[in-house]
Amino acid sequence: MLVLLRQGKISKWFSGIGQEAISVGATLALHEDEWIMPLHRNLGVFTSRKMPLHKLFMQWQGSKNGYSKGRERSFHFGSKEHFICGMISHLGPQLAIADGVALAYKLKKQDKVSLAFTGEGGTSEGDFHEALNVAAVWDLPVIFIIENNGYGLSTPTSEQYRCENLIDKAKGYGMESVQIDGNNILEVYDTIKGVREYCINNQKPYLIECITFRMRGHEEASGTKYVPKEMFEEWNKKDPIKNYEHYLTEEKVLSEITIADIRNEFKKNIEGSLNLPTGRQVLSTAGSSESFSIEEELNDVYAAKKSNVKRQASETVSGSRGLKFFDAIKEGLQQSMQQHQNLLLMGQDIAEYGGAFKITEGFVEEFGKDRIRNTPLCESAIVGTALGLSLEGYKSVMEMQFADFVTVGFNQIINNLAKINYRWGQNADVVIRMPTGGGVGAGPFHSQSNEAWFIHTPGLKVVYPSSPEDAKGLLIAAINDPNPVMFFEHKALYRSVSGNVPKEYYEIEIGKAKVISIGQDVSIITYGAGVHWAVEYAEAHPEIAINIVDLRTLLPLDYPAIKEAVRSTGKILILHEDTLIGGIGGEISAWINENCFEWLDAPVMRCASLDTPIPFNLELEKNFMAKARLHQAIEKLLAY
Ligand SMILES: Cc1ncc(C[n+]2csc(CCOP(=O)(O)OP(=O)(O)O)c2C)c(N)n1
């Protein structure tokens, strides 16, 4: 790889030289169908799982025929076939994915472990703490391996942590641990084999610290100036490959001749694999000479849905009864739990307590604690766990206690859930319920509208119902969808809005808007609480014929429905509770200008909440809300 780098045939390389015994020993100690979450030093995981060198070379050369169709660099790819989950740059998020896989093994009563790697630098990340804590609290069979190689990029261990040894941290989690010589492959292999048995038999996690050294720069371009020369001399004597070779020679397992034969065979294999035809090869450094299709790029962002629900709610003629918005969500969740034996619910206080809003009250009695899971207070680890469950074929719904708290799970959602299908074809079958919105005097951290953060992220779906019938049907559709769905539930609607809801299990299609009322004077395109404001306004102003469109899904948007609203009235007001700048109103307005300009009789207008944090005082909050300026906005538009 160093030669290919010098030749400009790969763009970047993270070397594991000096640390090979850890990747190889750990991988060989596991069964081939046990998931591993490797990082950038772990080439040995990929080769020990016997991934063909030919395809690996194509991967690192950015070829369409690699493991990520040219979409990912260095070690950021995985392979379901080899039970390897690809890392994201952020390092720590790998750890909680191992929790999810281990939870799946535990629930299936399989004798298996998952194994996740971290560097000593990565142990400073919050994700390390969250993942180890969840694994301990939930008694999950996970092996966490720290490769302590002395430096995190240029940062020495003395500037990384203050405990004497990193395994000291295990005690704090109530976890067993051991520190070993990471440069001795037999010690690594034997230890991990034994630890694997322990984790399976005791259904517990385990922390292993492998002491080792990084013999090259962080990546090849970054150099090693900050490392004292003597360190290289000292650690060169402990080289894991040379020492193992020496040991095998002393034990008379190898001779000079067999060593030469093995080296020759490796050389031939490597050169042969490199020279195999790669299709039209493309170098990530030199730009693309391979033809990529935009259609394929867009298609691979989402996993294809296999529809299994025949009936749409609108086709339902009987069996409806009045339900509150809150009860409709509860029923959608409950019927989904009955429908999918592989569906779990996770969230803070959702079990016996029934959740902050009591949506899951009574669920523990019906579905048991295995499937209705109270979580520790750690949003990031639970999103990661949900992804790990998905790797093993589980569906999960995570309840954010309040949508505002999603900020501490943001990385896993934006960088892992959203991108994984596009990066290496692994779907994230996860729904995140987001109790959102204001009007309840709850202040800046319990009332935000934050849907726009997610609309800007390809790979997510964003659903935001306004009626009980839609809430139930869209939630069922979200759970049936194999992609990550952010499901927004306006808290103020929970108990204030009622409507007819079919009793049966049905889906409302994601990505389809609904016309709430037809009128010719002006169209209000809105969603969530905005739909109720618009209806209330229309009822109070019968003299204006208002066309109201409820978007219901914000990603993907229903462009034909938006186009029809423009065509039928020529005047568009986009109304949302979210603040103005960067809200979805701007996106819709831009799209209308580009695609429907000839039908417009006035500029597209937006009515949104003030560009301030949402305040606590009820009068201030009322003034903050878009609703306070709705009349003014409609008058302005009509007068244009
Ligand atoms: C969240 C985040 N912050 C910073 C970085 C940049 N970065 C990449 S690797 C690295 C050092 C990692 O050190 P360690 O965990 O000890 O692993 P090592 O590289 O030594 O194997 C840093 C700072 C990153 N990738 N992600």
What is the spatial distance between Cα 5 and Cα 520, in angstroms, rounded to a whole number?
64
CA angle centred on 428, ends 31 and 204, rounded to 5°: 40
Handedness of CA 252, 258, 259, 260 (dihedral sign): positive
Q: What is the mean pLDDT of residues 429-437?
A: 98
Query: Which residue reads 């597209």 in tokens?
Result: 604
User: Rounded to the nearest whole angstrom, what is the distance from the C-alpha of residue 150 to the centroid of ligand 1?
Assistant: 12
Q: What is the mean pLDDT of residues 578-590?
A: 98
127 close to ligand 1 (CB < 6 Angstrom): no
Q: What is the mean pLDDT of residues 304-327?
A: 77
12 close to ligand 1 (CB < 6 Angstrom): no
- Ligand 1: residue of 76, 88, 91, 124 to mutate (most ligand atoms within 8 A of CB) is 91
Identify whether the C-beta of residue 149 lies closer than 8 Å to the C-beta of residue 41: yes
Q: What is the mean pLDDT of residues 633-639?
A: 97
- Ligand 1: residue of 160, 218, 415 to mutate (most ligand atoms within 8 A of CB) is 218
Strand ranges, E, within 236-348: 320-324, 343-347
Q: In this model, does residue 284 exceed pLDDT 60?
A: no
Identify whether the C-beta of residue 585 lies closer than 8 Å to the C-beta of residue 576: yes
**Model-level pTM?**
0.97
Identify whether the C-beta of residue 459 lies closer than 8 Å to the C-beta of residue 419: yes
- Helix residue spans in 415-459 (DSSP H): 420-424, 451-455
DSSP code string of 344-395: EEEETT-STT--TT-TTTTHHHHH-TTTEEE--S-HHHHHHHHHHHHHTT-E
pLDDT tens, position by position, 540-569: 999 999 999 999 999 999 999 999 999 999
Q: Whose CA is nearest to atom 24 of ligand 1?
A: 90
User: Rounded to the nearest whole angstrom, what is the distance from the C-alpha of residue 568 to the centroid of ligand 1?
Assistant: 55
User: Rounded to the nearest whole angstrom, what is the distance from the C-alpha of residue 423 to the centroid of ligand 1?
Assistant: 20
- Ligand 1: residue of 145, 153, 166 to mutate (most ligand atoms within 8 A of CB) is 153
Return the bridge partners of 223, or none: none
Checking DSSP bridges between strand 430-436 and strand 395-399, what pairing results, if any? parallel
Structure tokens at 330: 């509860």
Q: What is the mean pLDDT of residues 484-512?
A: 97
Q: How far is CA 509 from CA 299, 461, 470, 517, in A?
A: 18, 12, 9, 20
Q: In this model, does residue 479 exceed pLDDT 70?
A: yes
User: Rounded to the nearest whole angstrom, what is the distance from the C-alpha of residue 87 to the centroid of ligand 1?
Assistant: 12
Amino acid 521: pLDDT: 98
Strand ranges, E, within 112-189: 114-119, 142-148, 151-152, 155-156, 176-181
| SS3 state of residue 567 | helix
Residues in CB range of 187: below 8 A, 6 or more apart? 25, 180, 181
pLDDT tens, position by position, 370-422: 999 999 999 999 999 999 999 999 999 999 999 999 999 999 999 999 999 99
119 close to ligand 1 (CB < 6 Angstrom): yes
Mean pLDDT, the chain, as a whole number? 95
Return the bridge partners of 84, or none: 36, 79
Q: Whose CA is nearest to atom 4 of ligand 1?
A: 90
What is the spatial distance between Cα 24 and Cα 595, in angstroms, rounded to a whole number?
56
Amino acid 280: pLDDT: 42
Structure tokens at 422: 């596009």
Q: What is the mean pLDDT of residues 305-332?
A: 80
Structure tokens at 37: 């979450």
User: Rounded to the nearest whole angstrom, what is the distance from the C-alpha of residue 379 to the centroid of ligand 1?
Assistant: 22
Residues in CB range of 93: below 8 A, 6 or more apart? 87, 127, 380, 384, 411, 412, 415, 416
List the catalytic residues. Answer: 446
- Element of type H or E holding 198: helix 185-202
CA angle centred on 252, ends 248 and 256, rounded to 5°: 80
Q: Whose CA is nearest to atom 17 of ligand 1?
A: 119
Handedness of CA 612, 614, 617, 623 (dihedral sign): positive
218 close to ligand 1 (CB < 6 Angstrom): yes
Nearest Cα neighbor of 630 from 524, 550, 554 is 524
